[in-house]
């Protein structure tokens, strides 16, 4: 099956803080700036921009979606711990430290943080079987 989502964007009200946070946090997962239109928008990925942080197009205040979160794939528990630590060291807030998430399935492991704008992001992996 091919990926059905082309990219995801989150809004920011303070791009300087957001880019400091995302540069450090996403680097732990092997992601980097692919397209840079700072200070308005930056796209992260490995080969193509799959995740964007940007000022809202209408230039109104960015808001956080209730119930929305973005999950980034990790390859190890150590990578998830590094993601969590980098997020907290760069202006993020803890929203669930690294650990098993049995309510998501017997093989699910992840960590949740809030970025400087309050958006909820996660690094996660499954061990062996899917969910």
Which is it for the CA torsion 52, 41, 14, 25, positive or negative? positive
pLDDT grade for 128, boundaries at 50, 70 and 90: low
Neighbours of 97 (CB within 10 A): 14
Find how far residue 5's CA is from the centre of its chain: 15
β-strand 93-94 against 49-54: which pairing, if any?
unpaired
pLDDT digits (tens, 9 = 90+) for 22-75: 999 999 999 999 999 988 999 999 999 999 999 999 989 999 999 999 999 999
The Cα 118–Cα 131 span in angstroms is 28
CATH of 8-56+68-126, one of 3.30.70.20, 3.40.50.2300, 3.10.180.10, 2.40.160.60: 3.10.180.10
User: Which residues are CB-contacts of 39 (< 8 A; sequence separation ≥ 6)?
Assistant: 15, 16, 55
Q: Give residue limits of the domains in the chain.
A: 8-56+68-126
């Amino acid at each position: 099956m091919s990926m059905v989502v082309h990219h995801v964007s989150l809004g920011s009200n303070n791009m300087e803080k957001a880019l400091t946070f995302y540069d450090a946090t996403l680097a732990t997962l092997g992601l980097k700036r692919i397209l840079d239109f700072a200070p308005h928008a930056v796209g992260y990925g490995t080969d193509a921009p799959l995740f964007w942080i940007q000022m809202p197009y209408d230039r109104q205040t960015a808001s956080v979606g209730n119930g929305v979160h973005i999950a980034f794939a990790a390859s190890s528990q150590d990578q998830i711990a590094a993601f969590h630590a980098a997020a907290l060291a760069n202006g993020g807030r803890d929203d669930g430290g690294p650990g098993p998430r049995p309510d998501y399935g017997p093989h699910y492991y992840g960590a949740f943080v809030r970025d400087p704008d309050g958006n909820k992001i996660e690094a996660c992996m499954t061990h062996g079987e899917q969910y």
